[in-house]
Structure 1
Amino acid sequence: MNTTNTICLRKPVLCSLFLLIGILMQALSVSAADVRIAGMVTDASNNDAVIGATIRVKGTTTGTTTDANGKFTLTVPDNATLQISSIGYENTEVAVNGRTELTITMKPSTSQLQEVVVVGYGTQRKVDVTGATVTVKGDELVKQPVLTATQALQGKAAGVQIINSGQPGASPVVRIRGTGTALGGTAALFVVDGVLTDDITNINTSDIVNVDVLKDASATAIYGSRGANGVIIITTKRGKAGKLQINYSGNVGIRNAANLVDMANAVEYANYVSAASGTLVNAGNTSTDWYSKILRQGFTQTHNVSLSGGTEKATHFLSLGYFTDQGIVIRNQYDRFTIRTTNEFKINDKLKTGIIASYASAIDRRVNLGSAYNNAYRAAPIIPGKENGKYGNTSVYQNVGNPILDIENNKDRVLDNRLQGAAFIEYKPVEWLTFRSNIGDDWSNQVSRVYNYQFNNDTITFLAPGGNQRNANSNLAFRNTKTSHWTWDNTVTLNKTFGKQTLTVLAGTTAEQYTQTWFQSYRKDVPAAENLWYIGTGNANTSTNDGSGDKWARNSYIGRVNYNYDDTYLLTATIRADGSSRFPSQNRWGYFPSIGAGWVLTNESFLKGQLIFDLLKLRASWGRVGNDRIPSDAYTVTVTPNLAYPYGGGVATPGSAITQIKDPNLKWETTEETDVALEFSAIGGKLTGEIGYYNKKARDLLINVKVPSVTGDADGQVLTNAASIQNQGLEVVLNWRGKITEGISYNVGGNLTLNKNRVIGLNGGQPILDGGVGGNQPYTTRTDNGQPVGSFYVLQTLDVFQTQEEVNNYKNSQGTVIQPSASPGDFKYQDTNGDGKIDDLDRVFVGAYQPKAYFGLNAGISYAGFDFSIDAYGNVGNQVYNGKKAFRQLAQDNVESAMAYNRWTSANKSQTEPAANSGNLLASTYFVESGSFVRINNVTLGYRVPNSVIKKLKISTIRVFATAQNVITFKKYSGFTAELPGFSSTNNAGVVTTGSPTTAGIELNAYPTARTIAVGLNVGF
């Protein structure tokens, strides 16, 4: 018996190991046999040679590229697998299996070179685009149970900051590459199937194919006056020729407040108020959590049905959608019904036409959020909320209404009907020339009714008599607003290829007009029965009526040239001339040019042999866009009627007078931007990304400038073009897609935006003071030279006075006691200017709401029909202002639990929390907190039923899923939410703005962020 047999009999495990080693050595010796391959790579669609394709041996760095005839030679192991990749084609793998000659075909791909993106008034291949754009697929957006696509866009696009609100029916604030104005309009432009709009709450996310964001001036210049704040182009679904396809998608879920503020309980409150007022307060037997009384678990659901089909001559698409969001505040709800239809007709080979129309009807059941939330924060927890139909009478104890009664005793309903549509005709006399005319309208009618019930101690039973929460007369406020915004575009496009050169020329005209009229009326003593809520049923002697409107128009001429040489050298030049009625005739026209260039380095001979990059593209651009979003009468001096003017005898006589100063030479706000970026695809398309830098300067911005008051203007200011703002930033995007095995694929990606915003010149303009929160804080922000827009401008708290001796010893250089009226436990404020007193001249800048960086992260994996994805979003380096904490006005107002627990006392020598006080603290760094946060935005788990199962059911696809939105937020801020778009305010320009950049970051009555958990179903027939 030989040695091997002996070992195998006595040591079978060791024998098995020897045999395994022997097999592996034999396999290695076999694989070591190399073969020399002569191969050719061709296009599967036309059999043409694929030039410059990368051939790589799988698992190694060995490889080569095809020559001008699509051929290659390579020495490889005879059992190797080759990986072939090329721009514009799907990646493929081929096993050698000992062969020495190979012919490999590649299928054209819609990615990279051939991927088409939507740009202004047309489309381009992604590789041809020289401006900064980003595309997000509708399939990515529809995962989230939200009202609008922009809410779901958060964290998915570099340079795009989305600030969401938890309030049903509310649109998020969109900031593209920072804030570029202070008093002008800041909203991005939406273009939905060619129709221009500022709001997409009427668009069903399930109907969206793509969202294309145009970020830099080169990309947006084609929209001229509308492009200053970025452009978001939405393309909806179309019908496809073939048999009728029916699809259903829906989800149902529940919503809860994601984060609540802990308020002082009855005992903490009693102790705090007793110390603040000097009067003993009894905690009693009640401890009311007012927020829990006005919040609830909400319900949300979405249902969508679509039908698609047609022939080669005519296609159609029809969708129906229903969305409801029962807010987490009691009696708050938003319902929307949508219908969208798209029909396209091919008259002949040269002529086609189509109609796109959508209708949305929404009912917004609003709540008295401002009053209710402020009162819920301030109301004493020792007063019961509501028991056996009786309300706790908070107003007996303090000047605050019962938050439950604030909501339940009024009804605020808004009915919004909106029709949006477009029709086009396209004519191609020859293959390379296209004429297109597109006309669209966005029409809406909004009717608002707000009814306040009459109540007092007789009609509303309180748990305690007296108090001042009453409404002596019922009243009804009615408002009817009608809006129409039509656009008409006429373009001609030439697209011609000359050998290696491709030239595309676009020229055209566009016109648009916006008209709005509104009428409102108010009467008291309207009956309580809801079917009698009409102005005519009230007391005519109490009637007030008002009405007005707005109208403006634009006329524009556009031109664009795209040049491509050999898919290597790219050039884009754009010009748009805009005429706007919002400016005086001498400044009515603005001219907005741009130019961009691109260089595809991987098509150069010096990179042909490299095996890392599939695509390496350098692009640079410069452009100029405008902003005319100012009041239509901003330059027109108007006369104020019905003013009392006393003549010699002292008798007041009605008259009219000019009471304001206006600049008759107002002109465009202009933004000029430079953009440089490197785009790449590497390792067979597994790694893709982009690194870009932008420098965006906005000049001639609206600002108030002081002038001698000679016309009766109270503050002696005139609105004019004087300020400048700069945004500089860096954008980084990285995405990786790969396979673990043949059945398991995954993706990981992220984007990061660094942005620096600052005012670079007021040029005689006055700093903008804004963000008042009441009491001793009429303003908290200041927009001034060298600072970000809406920077917090407050007193610097040093610490808390511990003894009277510290108060007496706090002096300036001249020996003046700086805070002589302070007591131990009061804040010690910094005397910034050293004048021996604390006033507004001592305020300092302490940051702004605009983040220094924001980012998005995403990951996903799929296996055997299962798919899992997770998205995160966050921002860092910004500040927020706890305005609700500053809103306390009386000693009896409630406080946050942390304030009550950590307050300064003789036994607790706190350096950060002052002693119990009656409110009305000065605006200071005490209220400024970190606004940085990271949130898990969405987690989705889905399962697609196998084809073998669904074929028996005679359907094409079934997918079930569970999703969670706003899963968890990591933040330092002590308030409800660090996402604070800015409350509605009337700025110094007289413009009423929502989400104003000069008030952003202040939490006063923000709707709390809601967490949503939902399950859903997608079915295709």
Structure 2
Amino acid sequence: MAWAAHAPIRIAGKVTEATGQGLPGVTVQVKGTTTGTVTDGTGVYSIQADETATLVFSSIGFQTMEVAVGGRTAIDVTLVEDTKSLSEVVVVGYGTQRKSDVTGATVTIKGEELVKQPVLTATQALQGKAAGVQIISSGQPGTSPVIRIRGTSTALAGTAALFVVDGVLTDDISNINTADITNIDVLKDASATAIYGARGANGVVIITTKRGTVGKMTVNYSGNAGFRLPTNLVQMANAAEYANYVSTASGTVVSPGTTSTDWYGQILRTGFQQNHGLSVNGGTDKSTYFLSAGYFTDQGIVLNNVYKRFTLRANNDFTFNKFVKAGITASYSNGNNQIANLGSAYNNAYRAAPIIQSKVGNKYGNTSVYQNVGNPILDIDNNDNNEKDNRLLGSAYLELKPVEWLTLRSNMGGDWTNLNSRVYNYQFNNDTTTFINSGGNQRNPDSNLKFENTRTFHWTWDNLITFSKKVNKHAITALVGTTAEEYTQVKFSAYRKNVPATPSLWYIGTGNANTSTNDGTGDKYTRNSYISRLNYNFDDKYLFTATLRIDGSSRFPSQNRWGYFPSVGAGWLISNESFMQNQNVFDVFKLRASWGRVGNDRVPSDSYTVTVQPNLAYPFGGGIATPGSAITQIKDPNLKWETTEELDFGAEFSALNGRLTGEINYYDKKARDLLINVKVPSVTGDADGVVLTNAASIANTGLEVTLNWRGKISNDLSYRVGGNATLNKNNVIGLNGGQPILDGGVGANQQYTTRTDNGQPVGSFYVLQVLGVFQSDEEIANYKNTGGQAIQPTASPGDFRYQDTNGDGRIDDNDRVFVGSYQPKAYFGLNLGLTFKDLDFSVDFYGNVGNQVYNGKRGVRQNVLDNVERTMAYNRWTRSNASQTEPRANSGNLAPSTYFVESGSFARINNATLGYKLPTTWLNKVHVSSARVFVTAQNILTMKKFSGFTAELLSDSPTKQGIELNAYPTTQTYAIGLNVGF
């Protein structure tokens, strides 16, 4: 061709959209050749071509543009959004669709939005960016956030959303480098998730990682480094305040001494974090490749706490001819988590007396001499807890296309994990070799070592046939196939005492063999499924979707093993009707409705199988204990699927030439046949007298609203504003003979704080109602029942006055009332962006309202010598301070009540990032195609009512969520980063 007769030149530039924002992932191709490249995260590209060649710029959702080179070495282009073609492609289950054709509720978040935040997993970066998606995160290194999609729909079965990574089903994505992600698609309603059947009840998160593109090899580096700070710390009483409080509560004078120890200040620090990623991308029309390596380090804000992760990825695609394609996706991660002894350390830091020295030299202050509390620093130093995991996640596919309208695809995926946990406890005594003062009860007379190894392997195999044909105005896509999967877990643990303190000798064999114990367990289950889906589009106006998945799960007995999960959806593209052609407001307007049913089989694999517990001692005549075996539990042999049925109505629109986009969804989701414990007569040695069976229903109804605006003030200045809000109502609508679930025990005095019952949200707080504080003996005497008897005769002035709810004249558990739950009534996100020339700025907000949090720390004070929060010391009731909210100085033995229940509402500046793209003229001199430097801050400011560390509390159980006991403090992160392309 003509261009080949000239020497090639290097052309560089930037691709932007109408607002001036750089467009990543735009394909830049030399017309008529296989030479091409892709723009980087800021829209910058570099390519070699003949001076007379033509460049073709293309990206999903934008009109393709051709530009003649004309001898130029710098070409900047602005792509026009293709609002009329509705061509944006989104990922759905086992395939892709145009956004306009989707009849279910889905949302897509681009990878470039996620990578801005210095976080371990992309899930955490999702927070506040998608309506209907609640992310509950923690500042603890190595911890994955909890994701809730459209509320909680189970009580005892699993609540986690399903992750699908490049076609592989998994429950955890902490092994994936966020920089490797192209986009995340969240499937929210049953119509969208029904194709995943048994796994779709809690929503589906589909993650697509980057793949190679045709063109010369490009190299990209992205990294950031900074520090983390503890924030929103609880202020504890100092020595003087503590001495005054304890002296009043105990009646014994306590001296403040000369020391005032801030125990939280002793165990917390400023942590360092860094994240680096390097990728290589390129290929030919026959094969493409994407290779990456990543390194992440998060030094926690707690002493001796650090998490490190190394990742590798290789994504390759091969095109043998126009009929045959194949590819592999493989990732490896190695994690090393040095875990601080948070449980006892946090609890003891809250309770330890500030009048005790923390540490002098290598000796510890002996807090247990004074009270029954260990030294928090020794709690951390004494415990060496390390977890190492190696994980391989990958898949391989073969795709045949014998004719244009038929595709056959087979995909085999595997997820292998090997986790090794080691916990070593040092030996120490309660003498002056360890402590400043001897005595007390904090000691560990024998060192001990525990090893635990957990190996899991999960494979999936999908075989799919896709038929896609368009005839005149009729477009049909049909999918049929089968999928099978198997999960296997093997766990083994061993324990010995008297293992030497030298780390090189930390092996079970070096300890005392007479103290050795070991244990083993495991799990195995299989699923087999048949899937089908039909998509029909008539004239780009009328849409119809139907799916059916038939699932078989080994977790249920044979008579209930198979579940049938159908869905239907319909859509109307009103904007394509003739009567809409002369209006200038809406570019796109679509109405849709759907109904679907999905299942949940996340129950223990032995839930319906009666097992025998061995090695139980049974005393026969003469008191001699003889070992034997017994059935110690009752099982329901007829367990069946938990089933969620959902109705969804939605409207989507794009208006004013794409500047305004939005979506409104209403959903009504009911989960039936949920597993709960039902009380039965105690037989066969069962201690609890309960059986796990299908006997509950939970409803979630809600409204989701998303609005986005993009504007341009001048050629150099553009902006964007986006927001989303979700209203959700959670309600237990039927226990069907089951017993209310009591959970959330806090301390010896507060055996339960939540109750899951009819007419209330799951895990509702169920406590005594505080009416105020008794101010005098006269008030106590006048608080009487209808019979004229004192309701709280043993109370003293300064004690709480509790509501006699049932009117029986006494205060007990029958007087408890429901006072809300941890589940928010609404949550929201706000995202702002500004671009001025080569500067870009973005800020994200997130929050929720209407939920409650239980301040469990206050409920675990065990005696009068335990420390108290500063507000408790200052605001407590005294004869001169007639408080109606804070009781008198007390020993901490308070009943569960509304005193401990606080508002969980909060709003936070989640992330702010300022970036600058270095000028191309500078970069050309050092042969760099693009470079951007940025500074970022996370969790800058949190506005909350809760007096504890954080209102975001992780829990694996919906029936006891929202209780703060040992929560990891919220952390602020400040970092500087660099993105470079070669």
Do both share a fold (TM > 0.5)? yes
**1: CA distance between counterparts of 2:843 and 2:267?**
32
1:493 alignment counterpart: 466
- One-letter identity of the residue aligned with 1:254: F
Secondary structure of 2:588 counterpart: strand
Secondary structure of 1:267 counterpart: helix
What are the residue-to-residue correspondences of 1:429-508 with 2, within 5 Å?
Answer: 429-458=402-431, 460-508=433-481
Tell me if the contact between 1:110 and 1:116 (Cα under 8 Å) persists in the aligned partners.
no
Between 643-652 and 467-476, the greater mean CA deviation after superposition: 643-652
For the structure 1 residues 950 and 782, does the alpha-carbon distance in structure 2 shift closer, same or farther, using more than 3 Å as the test?
same
Secondary structure of 1:926 counterpart: coil
**2: CA distance between counterparts of 1:323 and 1:858?**
26
For the structure 1 residues 656 and 276, does the alpha-carbon distance in structure 2 shift closer, same or farther, using more than 3 Å as the test?
same
Tell me if the contact between 2:84 and 2:587 (Cα under 8 Å) persists in the aligned partners.
no
Tell me if the contact between 1:91 and 1:684 (Cα under 8 Å) persists in the aligned partners.
no
Tell me if the contact between 1:276 and 1:916 (Cα under 8 Å) persists in the aligned partners.
yes
Q: Does 2:237 correspond to 1:276?
A: no
Secondary structure of 1:922 counterpart: coil
1:534 alignment counterpart: 507
For the structure 1 residues 701 and 635, does the alpha-carbon distance in structure 2 shift closer, same or farther, using more than 3 Å as the test?
same
1:370 alignment counterpart: 343
Per-residue CA deviation, residues 192-216 of structure 1 (Å, 9 max, x unaligned), is 0011100000000000000000000
2:979 alignment counterpart: 1018
Secondary structure of 1:847 counterpart: coil
**2: CA distance between counterparts of 1:106 and 1:381?**
64
Tell me if the contact between 1:981 and 1:996 (Cα under 8 Å) persists in the aligned partners.
no
1:948 alignment counterpart: 921
- The Cα shift of 1:703 comes to 1.0
Match 2:701 to one of 728, 734, 747: 728
- One-letter identity of the residue aligned with 2:962: G
For the structure 1 residues 842 and 429, does the alpha-carbon distance in structure 2 shift closer, same or farther, using more than 3 Å as the test?
same
Tell me if the contact between 1:689 and 1:733 (Cα under 8 Å) persists in the aligned partners.
yes
Match 2:593 to one of 620, 631, 648: 620
**How high is the TM-score relative to the length of structure 1?**
0.88
1:84 alignment counterpart: none
For the structure 1 residues 425 and 110, does the alpha-carbon distance in structure 2 shift closer, same or farther, using more than 3 Å as the test?
farther
Per-residue CA deviation, residues 708-749 of structure 1 (Å, 9 max, x unaligned), is 223222232211101000000000000000100112111001
Match 2:87 to one of 108, 114, 135: 114
1:882 alignment counterpart: 855
Per-residue CA deviation, residues 670-690 of structure 1 (Å, 9 max, x unaligned), is 000000011000011100000
Q: Does 2:526 correspond to 1:553?
A: yes
Tell me if the contact between 1:351 and 1:428 (Cα under 8 Å) persists in the aligned partners.
yes
Per-residue CA deviation, residues 24-54 of structure 1 (Å, 9 max, x unaligned), is xxxxxxxxxxxxxxxxxxxxx9xxxxxxxxx
1:248 alignment counterpart: 221
1:57 alignment counterpart: none
Tell me if the contact between 1:882 and 1:927 (Cα under 8 Å) persists in the aligned partners.
yes
- One-letter identity of the residue aligned with 2:158: G
Match 1:333 to one of 306, 325, 329: 306
For the structure 1 residues 190 and 110, does the alpha-carbon distance in structure 2 shift closer, same or farther, using more than 3 Å as the test?
farther
Q: Does 2:550 correspond to 1:577?
A: yes
Tell me if the contact between 2:475 and 2:537 (Cα under 8 Å) persists in the aligned partners.
yes
Q: Does 2:718 correspond to 1:751?
A: no
- The Cα shift of 1:301 comes to 0.2
Secondary structure of 1:276 counterpart: helix
**1: CA distance between counterparts of 2:433 and 2:804?**
51
What 5-or-longer segments of structure 1 have no aligned partner?
Answer: 1-44, 46-86, 93-104, 983-994
- One-letter identity of the residue aligned with 1:1015: I
Secondary structure of 2:960 counterpart: coil
- One-letter identity of the residue aligned with 1:240: T
- One-letter identity of the residue aligned with 2:137: N
**1: CA distance between counterparts of 2:890 and 2:748?**
14
For the structure 1 residues 136 and 111, does the alpha-carbon distance in structure 2 shift closer, same or farther, using more than 3 Å as the test?
farther
Per-residue CA deviation, residues 837-878 of structure 1 (Å, 9 max, x unaligned), is 111100000000100000000100101110000000000011
1:985 alignment counterpart: none
2:231 alignment counterpart: 258
What are the residue-to-residue correspondences of 1:575-614 with 2, within 5 Å?
Answer: 575-614=548-587
Q: Does 2:975 correspond to 1:1002?
A: no
Per-residue CA deviation, residues 878-917 of structure 1 (Å, 9 max, x unaligned), is 1100000111011000000000001111111111110100
Tell me if the contact between 1:88 and 1:111 (Cα under 8 Å) persists in the aligned partners.
no
2:370 alignment counterpart: 397
For the structure 1 residues 287 and 649, does the alpha-carbon distance in structure 2 shift closer, same or farther, using more than 3 Å as the test?
closer
- The Cα shift of 1:640 comes to 1.9
Tell me if the contact between 1:138 and 1:206 (Cα under 8 Å) persists in the aligned partners.
yes
2:97 alignment counterpart: 124
Match 1:656 to one of 620, 629, 651: 629
- Between the aligned residues of both structures, percent identity stands at 73
- The Cα shift of 1:816 comes to 2.2
**2: CA distance between counterparts of 1:900 and 1:649?**
58
2:289 alignment counterpart: 316
Tell me if the contact between 2:83 and 2:587 (Cα under 8 Å) persists in the aligned partners.
no
**1: CA distance between counterparts of 2:300 and 2:623?**
57
Secondary structure of 1:741 counterpart: coil
Between 382-391 and 883-892, the greater mean CA deviation after superposition: 382-391
1:352 alignment counterpart: 325
**1: CA distance between counterparts of 2:350 and 2:84?**
53
- The Cα shift of 1:650 comes to 4.5
For the structure 1 residues 903 and 768, does the alpha-carbon distance in structure 2 shift closer, same or farther, using more than 3 Å as the test?
same
Per-residue CA deviation, residues 53-96 of structure 1 (Å, 9 max, x unaligned), is xxxxxxxxxxxxxxxxxxxxxxxxxxxxxxxxxx965599xxxx
**2: CA distance between counterparts of 1:132 and 1:389?**
60
**1: CA distance between counterparts of 2:755 and 2:203?**
25
Secondary structure of 2:820 counterpart: strand
What 5-or-longer segments of structure 2 have no aligned partner?
Answer: 1-28, 30-59, 66-77
Secondary structure of 1:885 counterpart: helix
For the structure 1 residues 378 and 183, does the alpha-carbon distance in structure 2 shift closer, same or farther, using more than 3 Å as the test?
same
Match 2:119 to one of 134, 141, 146: 146
2:671 alignment counterpart: 698
Per-residue CA deviation, residues 737-769 of structure 1 (Å, 9 max, x unaligned), is 010011211100100000000100000011111
Match 2:128 to one of 140, 145, 155: 155
- One-letter identity of the residue aligned with 2:972: R
**2: CA distance between counterparts of 1:366 and 1:110?**
51
What are the residue-to-residue correspondences of 1:39-58 with 2, within 5 Å?
Answer: none
Secondary structure of 1:831 counterpart: coil
Tell me if the contact between 1:218 and 1:595 (Cα under 8 Å) persists in the aligned partners.
yes
Tell me if the contact between 2:81 and 2:658 (Cα under 8 Å) persists in the aligned partners.
no
Secondary structure of 1:923 counterpart: coil
Secondary structure of 2:964 counterpart: coil
**2: CA distance between counterparts of 1:731 and 1:565?**
28
Tell me if the contact between 1:791 and 1:847 (Cα under 8 Å) persists in the aligned partners.
yes
- The Cα shift of 1:949 comes to 2.1
Q: Does 2:710 correspond to 1:719?
A: no
Between 728-737 and 716-725, the greater mean CA deviation after superposition: 716-725
**1: CA distance between counterparts of 2:493 and 2:637?**
31
2:22 alignment counterpart: none
Tell me if the contact between 1:112 and 1:127 (Cα under 8 Å) persists in the aligned partners.
no
2:880 alignment counterpart: 907
1:645 alignment counterpart: 618
| RMSD (Å) for aligned C-alpha atoms | 1.5
**1: CA distance between counterparts of 2:428 and 2:622?**
46
Secondary structure of 1:349 counterpart: coil
Match 1:934 to one of 886, 889, 907: 907
**2: CA distance between counterparts of 1:645 and 1:404?**
44
Match 1:383 to one of 336, 356, 366: 356
For the structure 1 residues 875 and 108, does the alpha-carbon distance in structure 2 shift closer, same or farther, using more than 3 Å as the test?
closer
Match 1:710 to one of 683, 686, 692: 683
Per-residue CA deviation, residues 337-383 of structure 1 (Å, 9 max, x unaligned), is 00000111111110011111000000000011010000000000000
**2: CA distance between counterparts of 1:569 and 1:393?**
75
Per-residue CA deviation, residues 567-613 of structure 1 (Å, 9 max, x unaligned), is 11000000000000000000000000000000000111221211111
For the structure 1 residues 402 and 88, does the alpha-carbon distance in structure 2 shift closer, same or farther, using more than 3 Å as the test?
closer
Q: Does 2:779 correspond to 1:806?
A: yes
2:492 alignment counterpart: 519
